[in-house]
Chains A and B, each alone.
Chain A
Amino acid sequence: MSLIVAENISKDYQAGEISIKALKGVSFEIEPSSFVSFVGPSGSGKTTLLNLIGCLDKPTHGQLTVADTDVSTLDQKQSASFRGNHIGFIFQDFNLIPVLTVYENIEYPLILVQNIPAQKRKKSVMSTLEAVGMGEQRDKYPDQISGGQKQRVAVARALVTNPNVVIADEPTANLDRKTARMVIELMKKMRDESGTTFIFSTHDPRVVAEAEIIYTLEDGELTGKEAKGGTGDV
């Protein structure tokens, strides 16, 4: 059974008096444990689509089901709760909370979103920290670690709640080539270990090569799907 089902979804934005059609009747299905990339030029609708899948926004038309939930019907509070329990996010600019340490950043969703008891929380955070190789940096603040390390922490924060889906919008855009490769490998490794579906957007061809399923978006429409298992050169 598909984890994500999009049926003819559209998203319109109003910019003053002009209506912008960011997505035009997009349909697709994504299976659990997939490693999916949405590619396309700037303005093609990648981020809009990821926002819809991530329940940050709602489609104007069509139906979007994520983990058996019709997310287009959720209100603000229900959406937040759904995101906290089913979706992890990795951002282009890492978006770590600057006043929290590496450990606390990863712990944050477990305390303030899922209310996990302290003992269980500590265990989850420590194992995730070790999995992303940031155990030794646990007491450092975000401004004391490198960009690659920040993205590792962001990956850990996204995965610590055991979400069904991790959404990553341009996760390597602010990283150098070597670090970008390491982050993609880490995401794949985490997918293999946890079975979490990773969906990311990019227009970096070296990152695209690592995806197993590639959807191409152009001008708000899905113009192609490519399924492969290859390992391209990042």
Chain B
Amino acid sequence: MFSVLRIAARNLRRYKRRTILTASLIVTGVVFVSVFVAVSGSFKNMMIGQITDSFLGHVQIHRKGYVASIDSLPLTMNLKSQAVKKIDEAIKEIPEIEVYSARIKFGGMFSNFVETTNIRVNGVHPEKEIKTAPLLLSRIKEGEKIIRKGEILVPELLAKGMKVKVGDMVVVIATNKDGSINGKQFRVGGILESATGPGGRDGYIHIEDATEILRMDNVEISEIAIRVRDFSQLYAVHNRLHDMLSKERNKQGKPIFEVHTWEKLSPFYNVARMIDVMTFFVKLMLVAIVLISIMNVMIMAVYERVREIGTIAAIGTLPGKILSMFVIEGFCLGFIGAAIGSLLGGAIIFVINISKITFNFGRQKGLTLSTSVNPNDLLLISAIVIIVSVLASLQPAFKASRMDPVQALRHV
């Protein structure tokens, strides 16, 4: 094996310029892919973080059927206290869950005493909500970064449209599930910028104010948002919660709850998927680059060394060993390209990080691009390059191993 490796390495050194050119092509491909994976991955993670940490949470639990009709925020599909208790018990059994926040969501009318418009209101426990969606407070661009009883956080565009500012008094009017209308005065406690762009109509009030407007004798919860300790445990937590809660059935034997990860609740999941698809196609390009360049080099190598192949075949080298000589040559070329490419890629990612490049996402400005590449990703990219190199070498190597020594020795 060592001898075959030595011969392969020397043959690569023998055609220095060609080896350098091919290796450079592979290195460029690996660098490009690793940097792209790092940057797009970081952007994707940042985007997911912005969405989940600003308002969504990682996982949400609703009464079965709520998400399908979420646009109308149906109060009739809220979770009663007994159901909330069951969810609470399930959550306590999963140590990977860091915190959760119960929300009452409803649609209402927002009035500044002159004009009226519609608003989506979130009644929350401030402490729990801030822990579940830690970026919520950073979205308060005017006013104190707190949610107090009797105060409302008004979405930015709504505040602008209704010409209200911090300290103004407004009225929120809502219909409860029995159909009776009630209103409550609020002081504007803060102006809330939207996490995802213009058009956000979500205001925040204290959960006790929500129960008061909706005249709830017993608190009924619209959704429970959950934050997991380690984002990589998201699916494990989701599956466990789903398994536990799917056992809970109503009188008709149908499940009471539905559990969703953020992906099912946000259209931005499609953007994240697009990034994954782009990454896949970039990797595919790398495969094509490696495949074509290595195959080209190995075909040339076989063509140039026909007499040598004839000689080694004549002196008794078995076809399998001749095949392995060329395959290992391709492997070495791929390995060199992958190793140098990974090192260079890592160095470029490091430089990007220390350069503190910033970008904007939605209404968030000046987010720092914090690239990081998972060592597993680098290993995967390198493995792809090496495997493709070996595959690309197989055809020329097979041709070499099947060569008729008489014909090969006669080759000029």
Contacts and interface: CB of A to CB of B under 8 A. Distances in A.
Interface of A: 51, 54, 56-57, 76-77, 80-85, 87-89, 91, 93, 95, 97-100, 108-109, 111-114, 157-158, 161
B311 A97 contact: yes
B114 interface: no
B314 A81 contact: no
Contacts of A54: 314
A144 to B, nearest CB: 14
A80 B317 CA distance: 6
A113 B250 CA distance: 76
B343 interface: no
A1 B102 CA distance: 100
A207 B304 CA distance: 33
B399 interface: no
Interface string B400-412: 0010011001000
Interface stretch (B2-10, B162-170, B269-277): B2-10
Interface of B: 3-4, 7, 10-11, 13-14, 307-308, 310-319, 321, 402, 405-406, 409
B405 A88 contact: no
8 contacts: A80-B313, A84-B318, A88-B315, A89-B314, A89-B315, A100-B10, A114-B316, A161-B316
Nearest to A93: B307
Contacts, number: 72
Chain B binding site: helix, strand, loop or mixed by DSSP? Answer: helix
A97 B409 CA distance: 13
Contacts of A95: 307-308, 310-311, 409
Contact of A77 (B4, B14, B308, B319): B319
A163 to B, nearest CB: 9
A92 to B, nearest CB: 10
A112 B308 contact: no
Contacts of A89: 311, 314-315
A81 B383 CA distance: 35
A76, A80, A113, most chain B CB atoms within 10 A: A80
A140 B247 CA distance: 79
Residue of B10, B13, B316, B409 most packed against chain A (CB within 10 A): B316
A148 B364 CA distance: 79
Contact of B11 (A99, A109, A158): A99
A112 B402 CA distance: 17
B315 A99 contact: no
Given A81-B316, A112-B317, A99 B406 contact: no
A83 B311 CA distance: 12
